[in-house]
Structure 1
C-alpha cells in the first residue's frame, strides 16, 4: 500500500479533528442492539467450534491481517504483537478471532459467555483514537478503519473490556515511519457492519439461531425492542442485566441468572484477561486538558506537513534527475 500526499493530508485532517473534537461528543444511542441470554448458552458443547465463533471467522476471513515479514519492532519498543502463527486460536480475542466463548464455573454452576465488542453508546475508543481511525456508526456499532489505523492501541487502553487486539506488520505505519511510530492495526468486532447496514443480522446471531431455533442465545433488532425484551425477561424470570448501565450504556446486553458481581469475582480470581466489571464509569467524562490536546493536535499536523514536504522534495528531486538525463 502506498500513500499519496492527498491521502496523508486527509489522514492528518482526521487526526486533528479527532484530537480537537473527539472528547466533546455526546453519547448517541444506535439503531440496533443485541441481547445475549446466558441462561441458554451451552458453548456449543457438542461441536468443535462454537457456532457464533465459526460464523464470525468465516464471514470476516477476507479482512484478516496478512503481515509483511520479517516484522520489525519500532522504537523504543523491542517487541511487537504478532498473532499470525495463532490464527486458529479461538479461546480468546485476537486479530483473527473477534468473538469467543468464555467458560466459567460460578458457585458450582457452569456458564458460557460469548465475548465481543460491547459497542458503547459513548465509546472511549472512538473519542480517544489520536488518528481518527475509529467511528461510531448510526447503527450503533463502532468501527475501526484499518486503512488509517496506526495500531497505537489507545483504543484498547481506554476500553473497559480491553477488546481491540493488535497485529504488527500491517497497516499505514509501514509506509510512513515503521521504525518510530505505530505498531500495526487494531482489530475487533464491528457487528458485521456491511450486513446490518442492509438490515441483516450479524453472522453470530444468525448462526446461533440456526442451531437453537427459538431458544437462540442471541437476539438482535431495534434497540428499543431489545432493551424492552431484556427488562421484561429480567423481571419475569428473576434475571440480572449487564450492559445497560456499564460505561454509560451499550448496544450489547447480557442477562443471567447469576449476578454479574459473582461472575466478575470469579474472573478476577482467575486473572482472566477479559473481565466483566460491574461498576464501569465512562472515561469520556474525565477529559484531557483542551490546551494540551490543541498542542498535541498541532504536533501531529506539523508532522503531517513535514511528511508532505518530504514527499514533495523527493518528487522534485526525481524530476530533476530525470531532466538531467
Structure 2
C-alpha cells in the first residue's frame, strides 16, 4: 500500500459521530475517500535514527495540554496513595511522564553479524479494545471511532486504574490537577492521568500528528488499519523482518516493523518505570467476566459527569485543554 506522506495528508473532516474522513494519495481504490473506521500507524523502526525530532514535536504541539498543578497538594487520608509530581522535572525526555508522551528507546542488537543500535519511538499503543477505556470507572478514558484512545482530564480523578490494566503501564499521573480538587480532595482521587492522545485535535482538522509531521526519515505511516496491517507485513517480508502490535492485547493501532525479532529487541531494551516492554501480550479483554465488569462500570461515567457538573463544573486546574468528548 502507498503511505500517507506529510504533504499528501489532505484536509479532512469529522462526521457527527466522530469518525474521521480523509483523502490521501497514493492509496488503493479501496482506501480512497474512506468512511468511518480506525486509523493506525506503522513504525518502521529500521528507518529510525533516534534524532528525537518526534519527541520535541510532540512536546511542542501538546504543551497546551500539559498539567499546571496547584501546590501544596491536599493531604490524602489515608496516605496510602502517594503523590506523583513531575512539574519540576518537565525536561525529562528519556521515559514517559505527564509532560513527555513520546520517547526513544535504545536496543543494542546484532544484525547480519554486526552490532547495531536500534532506536524505537514509544508511546501509547492505542489498543483496538483498550482495557483503560473499558475499565475506567468514571469513563475518563474513551476510545474514539477513529481508533484513538484519550483520557479526558476534566473527568479523570487520577485513580490510575488505566495504568493498572494497561499491559504496557503507559499512563502517568500528575497530582494537584483535575476535578478531584473540587470533589473530596483529601479522600478521593489524586490528580489526572496523562498519555499520548495521537494529536486528536490535529487529526480532527485533517492534519498529521506532530510526531509524523516532524520525522525526517518517514519512519511512521498513518492510514486505515487494514491497509496499515497489510503494509506492515509487506514491509516485514521485504526486509525479512517482524511485526508487533497487530495481535498484542487483541490488536493495537500502533504497528511496529523491526529487522530483528521482538523477543531479541525486548531483551535488549532498557525497561522500567515509564519505559514499556515489547514482550508478547495476550488479549486482556478476552475474558467474558472482564467484559461483563466493563459493561457494569460503564454507566458510572454518566453519574460521574453529572456529579462533577452538579458540584460546579470542575475544570482541570490552570489548564487550557477544555475539550469535547
State the aligned residue count.
269
Summarize the alignment of residues 212-223 of structure 1 with structure 2, pairs less than 5 Å apart.
212=217, 216-223=218-225
| Contact 1:125 1:155 survives alignment (8 Å) | yes
Choose between structure 1 and 2: higher helix proportion: 1
Name the counterpart of 2:109: 106
Name the counterpart of 1:96: 99
| Contact 1:239 1:255 survives alignment (8 Å) | yes
Name the counterpart of 1:318: none
Quote how far apart the aligned CAs of 1:54 are: 0.7
* 1:153-194 per-position Cα deviation (integer Å, ceiling 9, x unaligned): 000110011111100000000001111110100111110001
Quote how far apart the aligned CAs of 1:296 are: 11
| Contact 1:234 1:255 survives alignment (8 Å) | yes
Q: 2:250 and 2:61 mapped to 1: Cα distance?
A: 30
Q: Give the direction of change, closer, same or farther, for the CA distance of 1:295–1:113 in structure 2 (3 Å limit).
A: closer
- The answer on 1:191 being equivalent to 2:188 is no
Q: Which has the larger radius of gyration?
A: 1
Q: Give the direction of change, closer, same or farther, for the CA distance of 1:76–1:296 in structure 2 (3 Å limit).
A: farther
Summarize the alignment of residues 1-325 of structure 1 with structure 2, pairs less than 5 Å apart.
30-44=37-51, 50-77=52-79, 79-107=82-110, 108-208=115-215, 211-212=216-217, 216-267=218-269, 270-273=270-273, 274-286=275-287, 287-288=289-290
Q: Give the direction of change, closer, same or farther, for the CA distance of 1:221–1:126 in structure 2 (3 Å limit).
A: same
Quote how far apart the aligned CAs of 1:291 are: 8.3
* 1:56-105 per-position Cα deviation (integer Å, ceiling 9, x unaligned): 11111111100000013422235300000001111111111110001121
Q: Secondary structure of the equivalent of 2:88?
A: helix
TM-score by length of 2: 0.76
TM-score by length of 1: 0.76
Q: 1:294 and 1:155 mapped to 2: Cα distance?
A: 16
Choose between structure 1 and 2: higher strand proportion: 2
Quote how far apart the aligned CAs of 1:279 are: 2.3
Gaps of 5+ in 2: 1-35, 313-325
> Which of 278-287 and 53-62 deviates more?
278-287
* 1:85-126 per-position Cα deviation (integer Å, ceiling 9, x unaligned): 001111111111110001121243211110001100000000
Q: 1:296 and 1:251 mapped to 2: Cα distance?
A: 23
| Contact 1:139 1:197 survives alignment (8 Å) | no
